[in-house]
Chain A
């Protein structure tokens, strides 16, 4: 099968890979690069577990062809902590018990980050809308909403 060269930045480090034409970003991240923070929940864009941020935009890595990410800057949950310090969203998910089995968590955090990056002070409804593509079966969602709102608050406090 034809291999295509692709270079992108993943969580700040340069990656250069030969990928199969048609391979999804999800498979390349997980199997070739070894970043297993995006999860394969349905592989058809209906659960959100594989969410990543590509060039500032929330994407489902299972629907994104790796070869279309040439030159892109990709962020995954595995790259959020800086120098061992957790991102406020990660901290808030821990504090609020917004993670049970944890399988949806990296995707949830990506969706929440994409929201807070463009809207640092979202309403509850805006949180709900932003995370509507991410399925969680454990928590009942309420702690997730609390975590995102709380992360937004802590962000605005630290920015003040």
Chain B
């Protein structure tokens, strides 16, 4: 991309030059230029000329004016201002506000003038509260204008901000500044406030300056509220009245992320809390502590600008094992088992080569033309002008698809390139390859597509109507699943308590940091190699063969390594376009989606509407449960049917309920694409069922542990669908671990200063592994001695970041008796690796372990036999050891012969393979799992009484998934899953309007930042298996995300009484609950 190209930059050194340059046609003055790309993405015109003001001497420097005021040059960088002694002395309020602007690497460039000039900057409220004036320069000369007046007038063309003047501060004052955002740090502004009160010697408020602004809100002073304060004794101010006045006076914007009324409320609360330490009235008794009296004045305070929770340390030691049989999974406690993964050094050195980073001299650059409209018929595509552009080597459309123009893991309903119709805005219509990016982009703009727009299907429930417009000819209902057991109608009568609720879950984006991409090259034998991050190379190859009309043997697919996947690279992404372009051009072609294109076109998690009715008897025993799910499939099926099936299989969680009915419908819409995502439907359902159980416990007057104790399924009984379930169930143990947890006993209630209410919640975690009883679920791998003496362990699954390579080393070394470093894992390459199945459903750990156990002894025997022959020893005396073959009776572990020496003496080299099915259950009337893993998740939240924002301070996870293969990888999956789940719960949703995503990039779609991650995460594992359990270690890739949402929801309920049923949880709903309006 050359997003920033195509303009020139002037760097005037004097004010006169700057003013002259700014007056040139099309000129845009810039400071740090940190928001240019964002402005362009939002549709702003790209300027021909940028005027960089930061080298202009007149705009730099800061100092104290003769009248004691402060002058700060407009070109002052925000990071530099944070350390500016004049600003620290004269404007601490500004310094406090500075630290809430964007993030450190932005602040090193962003300037004070730039923050002001756009009129949306986060510093403007603080500057208004400081009574700032601006020195402005234009061709007409210089003028000084109060900031408030400047904001009230229309922008003057060609005028630049030279400096900011701040009057000398009153010696005694009360100040506050706060930015309310959508996450804890590096966030767009929801609204910002600042206030400064000058206090006279008599304690009376001499002057009051209150201001709001930031983001979409018009920045302004709040004169009427100010008037209310002037003359009051600051020790006896009526904060309640001030809150009322502020609510009347503040006007705010509604941009869809937060409502106008929410902004108004939090702004008023923030000013009142910041000035008076007074929090919004709370209806009932507060859970603990005491609230500061309304209107009670605080001593003159420093600045409160932190938009973060007050740290809430645990009382006592947090890391206490709840159950003696558990181990804490941490570097500290498992140091002797903690190993460094083999691919990490290249990653920390910055030299690790992703598939998107391969370059060759004759490589073309590919680009994809996307529909840009959610639903339309294609009347014609004209690629003539693009093909004719010099430098363009190939343009492909549906007409170039030689095989079937259809793919999809479950149903082949999706074209590689749209033929006659587009069904989502990101749908690929054509692709082209050119000698460079600029030519490719230019050519893309020359393709003419004649569309006839069709009615857009946006609401899955409305799409079920008979007369709804159809996304596919066969109708919008893609999957309809129904399951009944017992007598539901009769069962409700036996229920003493019934809870009925509708849970909504978000369209979460995977958010892998490496966007989809790679390269393809034609091979001399007429075949093709495709290198693109994926999760199942053999299946990608099968799908590509079908599209290209080539035999599978002619195609090599390499899918590893990739920079994160989480399910989002399980289905094909860019491979069809890459393959078609390489074949047509006869040249290698590379292609990588930029982030905006990835957001537009990539797979997402299925949003679900889950209606759940659950009843228990007077003793709290679960009796009846009815579940109805409507899931948004998006435009094409992919793995949607499997996701829905999995969701329904988890409809009762780990609980035995005699009378149940579940129905699930998966409905086509034009809302982008949905597919596999970590959790695969189970985590959505776990959220719903765990909230139901928590609510029923309240109704039944039971504590949440006792409620669950009465309901948990018994080990060895049939699964939800009636299927046989595998051994080593550990639900009772996980429940006991949660109940005994130190976190559960941690303090809750009101924080010391009254600003936060904390709550603690927990949820059970229960997740099936493997693909289930119906789809093929092959596993296997190959172990071989390589010529250089390494034990090569080849598996068809992928290294996506999760640590598959380390896991393979661990299980193979464990089975053979060699060192982990003796093992060289090879993954994700159809030319080199055997069938292992997909890298999904937490299955790879089992597949590798089983392969090592099956093929390992055979290979070890071959190695020992070969060594015995060579050494003239009895094989019974020898064993595989680190580095080679040793005398099993010798105390010295040093090998008698090294692997390399052994390899040099052997031809052919020994190898052993395994091929098997992932463990399956006997049930085939529907797709059912056999191996389930379990856990319990506890969360503590601190809820901000000003904003209703939920901060998760602690997450403690207990996991029972068999032995830990690699502690670091295990912990990484649990913690990484937890924070991804935290995003699902609190900030992430790809919203749509008319079939178009409202979030376009990472400035709007907010994944958790480091400041959103819990302050403490603790993980415990229960490793034991039932005697004779032949299934070994289970993967935990999906366990970490499984129960985070209901644990947080329960913690919110603990603190506020609100069981949030819509995720991401809206701070406004929490605020309503806090204020008794919910």
Contact = CB atoms under 8 A, between A and B. Distances in A.
Contacts of A36: 350-351, 353, 357
B347 interface: yes
A99 B344 contact: yes
Contacts of B347: 99, 102, 105
B570 interface: no
A138 B976 contact: yes
A99 B159 CA distance: 48
B9 A21 contact: yes
Given A111-B105, A133-B105, A101 B2 contact: no
Interface string B1001-1045: 111000111110111010000000000000000000000000000
Contacts of B511: 135, 137
Given A94-B340, A111-B104, A145-B1010, A137 B2 contact: no
A129 B306 CA distance: 11
A8 interface: no
Given A44-B1001, A46-B1002, A146 B331 contact: yes
Contacts of B353: 36
Nearest to A106: B350
Contacts of A60: 34, 105-106, 109
Contacts of B975: 139-140, 142-143
A72 interface: no
A61 B2 CA distance: 13
Contacts of A93: 344, 348
Which residue of B350, B594, B969, B1002 has the most chain A CB atoms within 10 A of its CB atom?
B350
Interface string A43-58: 1111111010000011
A131 B1001 CA distance: 20
A59 B37 CA distance: 15
A133 B104 contact: yes
A141 B801 contact: no
Contacts, number: 253
Given A101-B512, A104-B513, A135 B1007 contact: yes
Interface stretch (B273-281, B285-293, B558-566, B641-649): B558-566
A37 B347 CA distance: 9
Contacts of A51: 105
A46 B4 contact: no
Interface in A75-104: 76-78, 80-81, 86, 89-91, 93-97, 99-104
B29 to A, nearest CB: 15
A30 B447 CA distance: 29
Contacts of B691: none
Nearest to A135: B1007
A68 to B, nearest CB: 7
Interface in A139-160: 139-146
Which residue of B9, B103, B352, B1001 has the most chain A CB atoms within 10 A of its CB atom?
B103
B800 interface: yes
A69 interface: no
Interface string B499-520: 0000000000011111100000
B341 interface: yes
A37 B9 contact: no
B185 A129 contact: yes
A101 B514 contact: yes
A139 B352 CA distance: 18
A77 B514 contact: no
A97 B348 contact: no
B852 interface: no
Contact of A97 (B2, B341, B594): B341
Contacts of A86: 345, 348-349
B6 A1 contact: yes
Size bracket, chain A contacts: 35 or more
Interface string A3-25: 00000000000000000111110
Contact of B801 (A43, A100, A133): A100
A30 to B, nearest CB: 8
A114 interface: yes
A42 B595 contact: yes
A157 B1010 CA distance: 27
Nearest to B563: A103
B1009 A101 contact: no
B932 interface: no
A132 B801 contact: no
A142 B513 contact: no
B613 interface: no
A41 B8 contact: no
B1010 A109 contact: no
B185 A42 contact: no
A41 B1014 CA distance: 24
B980 interface: yes
A116 interface: no
B832 interface: no
B41 A44 contact: yes
Contact of A96 (B2, B331, B1001): B331
A153 B673 CA distance: 46
Contacts of A100: 564, 801-803, 972, 976
B349 A144 contact: no
B564 A138 contact: yes
A133 B106 contact: yes
A49 B385 CA distance: 37
B186 interface: yes
B105 A97 contact: no
B923 interface: no
B4 A22 contact: yes
Given A41-B595, A101-B800, A138-B972, A114 B104 contact: yes
Nearest to B183: A132
B564 to A, nearest CB: 4
A132 B103 contact: yes
Contacts of B36: 63
B175 interface: no
A37 B6 contact: no
B109 A64 contact: yes
Contacts of A146: 331
Contact of A138 (B38, B52, B102, B801): B801
A81 B1010 contact: no
Nearest to B1018: A142
Interface in B1-60: 1-9, 32-38, 41, 52
B1011 A21 contact: no
Contact of B34 (A45, A111, A128, A138): A45
A132 B513 contact: no
Contacts of A76: 350
B978 interface: yes
A95 to B, nearest CB: 7
Contacts of B340: 94-95
B972 A62 contact: no
Which residue of A35, A40, A42, A104 has the most chain B CB atoms within 10 A of its CB atom?
A42
Contact of A22 (B6, B102, B104): B6
Contacts of B1013: 140-142
Nearest to A64: B109
A94 B345 contact: yes
Contact of A57 (B79, B512, B513, B564): B79
B513 A81 contact: no
B1009 A135 contact: yes
Given A59-B109, A65-B4, A78-B350, 9 more contacts: A37-B350, A46-B1002, A48-B103, A60-B105, A68-B9, A103-B563, A133-B104, A140-B979, A141-B1013
5 contacts: A76-B350, A90-B349, A104-B513, A114-B104, A129-B104
Interface of A: 1-2, 20-24, 27, 35-37, 39-49, 51, 57-60, 62-65, 67-68, 76-78, 80-81, 86, 89-91, 93-97, 99-106, 109, 111, 114, 124, 128-146
3 smallest A-B Cβ distances: which pairs? Answer: A37-B350, A101-B801, A133-B103
Interface of B: 1-9, 32-38, 41, 52, 79, 99, 102-106, 108-109, 185-186, 331, 340-341, 343-354, 357, 510-515, 561-564, 566, 594-595, 800-803, 968-969, 971-972, 975-980, 1001-1003, 1007-1011, 1013-1015, 1017
